[in-house]
Amino acid sequence: AGLLLVDRQARVVWINERYRDFLPALGFEREEDFVGHPVSSVVQNTQMHRVLETGKPILIDLLVNKAGTFVVSRIPLRGDDGQVIGVLGIVLFDNPGTTLQPLISKFARLEQDLDAARRELATQRRAKYTFASFVGTSAAAQEVKRQARRAAQTPSPVLLLGETGTGKELLAHAIHATSPRAGRPFVSVNMAAVPEALLEAEFFGVAPGAYTGADRKGRDGKFKLADGGTLFLDELGDMPMAVQVKLLRALQDGEIEPLGSNRIVRCDVRVVAATSRDLARLVREGQFREDLYYRLNVLPIHVPPLRERQADIPLLVEALNEDIAARGAQPQPEMGRDALALLQAQPWRGNIRELRNVLEQLSLRSESGVIDRAAVEQVLRLAGVERIEPPVADMALPGAPLSEQGPSERWLRPLA
């Protein structure tokens, strides 16, 4: 193997005889033309400077330059004070066309697979929705979108308040997609879905070997995964007090401390939080930290329940039916005007989530492809609705079913 040594200024200070024999292949006739020069000027595509900067080794890597493809390792050298004073490079030159070729080919395939996995992971961590996905033209819906668009342009935390099923998560995605951080990760964590014992590790990560059974390589937490992007904290009111303390520090100082580590990690994260609980009441009852409440309650946005935006129900029915039909690869059913009027009259305590459930049941139960008032009443009763509110006579559009109306009469989904 060829050995190459650089100092803390990234200058080549020594090479062994095996490396010296290889100099002509790199385009150097004399050793003095190579030794004493910055490594970046004599070795194409070198990564030695990265090891100097990070102090982390790069082991069994592929180096591709004009002389060929080689398997290399780069190891930091430290002084008595623990500081990096240089880097040792180890290059395998032995018969690159034969002995090393299977290894080189395998590494090339692994790098391609790793790049593909990174691209797929990046896609999964992008926002799934935009403001166009928040369907509605009522005054209440327009006001929510106006506030959310303004909030998207600031780095301050956003607190989405509202009942379950009103579209808070959708708005969180839309805020990220419209913000300057849109090209960075969107990472979501649901407080109610993670066991309390695992929440700290989920948020802040785990240091290598932090406890019995921990990953030897450690694991990044949600804050680290969201670095440079947005972290969405759903069901914020269910966060345990012990985690609230560390979250406050992360928000105030931009610093986290992985579980089992004494090392501080810097993170640049914009937080969007959502809850269906009364945080102010939780603060009064001592179940939520007052300082964290004030830190998060900078840009509160109240997302109205569906009963306060009943004028949007025809639009929502249209959009939800389109999505249900697309997911089930089946024709979109026709919604009669009497059926639509009945849907529009209900209070929808489960909000949009309950409305979607009813529409899915109607779609699956419909044999004729046309949904009438009787079908809606039947599904509502089966869903456990105790009192079915009668429709107001002028709520629904007069005339034909939605699918037969012309463009000027049909309830259209808004573009924003």
| One domain for residues 138 and 278 | yes
| One domain for residues 186 and 280 | yes
CATH classification at residue 273: 3.40.50.300
What are the angstrom distances between the C-alpha of 61 and each of 72, 120, 209? Answer: 5, 23, 25
Give the dihedral sign, CA 401/402/404/410: positive
Query: CA 271, CA 171: separation in Å to the nearest integer?
Result: 13
Model confidence at 416: pLDDT above 60 = no
Q: Is residue 24 part of a domain?
A: yes
Lowest-pLDDT range of 140-149, 216-225, 398-407? 398-407
More confident site: 396 or 85: 85
Question: What is the pTM assigned to this prediction?
Answer: 0.66
| One domain for residues 259 and 337 | no
CATH classification at residue 393: 1.10.8.60
| One domain for residues 54 and 142 | no
Instruction: Give me the pLDDT at residue 216, please.
Output: 58
Model confidence at 220: pLDDT above 90 = no
Instruction: Give me the pLDDT at residue 170, please.
Output: 94
| One domain for residues 311 and 255 | no
The mean pLDDT value for 182-204 works out to 88
Q: Is residue 410 part of a domain?
A: no
| One domain for residues 108 and 149 | no
Q: Is residue 125 part of a domain?
A: no
Instruction: Give me the pLDDT at residue 59, please.
Output: 81
Model confidence at 257: pLDDT above 90 = no
CATH classification at residue 21: 3.30.450.20
Residue after which a domain boundary falls, among 249, 283, 304: 304
Instruction: Give me the pLDDT at residue 398, please.
Output: 39
Instruction: Give me the pLDDT at residue 106, please.
Output: 60
Can you say whether residue 266 is alpha, beta or left, with left for phi > 0 and alpha for psi between -120 and 50 degrees? beta
The mean pLDDT value for 318-334 works out to 85
Residue after which a domain boundary falls, among 117, 144, 166: 117
Q: How confident is the model at residue 406 (pLDDT cuts 50, 70, 90)?
A: very low
Share of the chain above pLDDT 70, in %: 83
Average pLDDT, the chain: 83
Distance of CA 7 to the CA centre of its chain: 40
Task: Give the residue carrying structure tokens 């970046």.
Answer: 40
Q: Is residue 123 part of a domain?
A: no
| One domain for residues 31 and 70 | yes
Task: Give the residue carrying structure tokens 């790793």.
Answer: 114
More confident site: 4 or 112: 4
Q: Is residue 353 part of a domain?
A: yes
| One domain for residues 189 and 230 | yes
Instruction: Give me the pLDDT at residue 107, please.
Output: 57
- Name, in order, each residue with C-beta under 8 angstroms of 234's C-beta and a sequence gap of 6 or more: 168, 169, 172, 188, 189, 190, 191, 192, 273, 274
Lowest-pLDDT range of 108-112, 151-155, 203-207, 213-217? 213-217
User: What does DSSP say about strands 270-275 and 158-161: parallel, antiparallel, or unpaired?
Assistant: parallel
| One domain for residues 297 and 155 | yes
Lowest-pLDDT range of 29-43, 78-92, 111-125? 111-125
- Name, in order, each residue with C-beta under 8 angstroms of 298's C-beta and a sequence gap of 6 or more: 156, 157, 158, 159
Q: Is residue 159 part of a domain?
A: yes
| One domain for residues 288 and 139 | yes
Greatest Cα-to-Cα distance within the chain, rounded to the nearest angstrom: 96
Q: How confident is the model at residue 400 (pLDDT cuts 50, 70, 90)?
A: very low
Q: Is residue 359 part of a domain?
A: yes
Alpha helices in 257-369 (DSSP H): 279-284, 290-296, 313-328, 337-345, 351-365
Query: CA 230, CA 222: separation in Å to the nearest integer?
Result: 10
Backbone angles phi, psi at 74, to 5 degrees: -130, 120
Q: Which residues constitute the domain of residue 188?
A: 131-304
Highest mean pLDDT among 83-92, 327-336, 349-358, 359-368: 349-358
Instruction: Give me the pLDDT at residue 116, please.
Output: 57
Query: CA 270, CA 181: separation in Å to the nearest integer?
Result: 9
| One domain for residues 236 and 196 | yes
Total structural domains in the chain? 3
The mean pLDDT value for 25-45 works out to 87
Q: Is residue 126 part of a domain?
A: no
Residue after which a domain boundary falls, among 263, 278, 304: 304
Model confidence at 407: pLDDT above 50 = no
| One domain for residues 345 and 204 | no
Query: CA 266, CA 276: separation in Å to the nearest integer?
Result: 31
Highest mean pLDDT among 195-204, 281-290, 325-334, 360-369: 281-290
Instruction: Give me the pLDDT at residue 331, please.
Output: 80
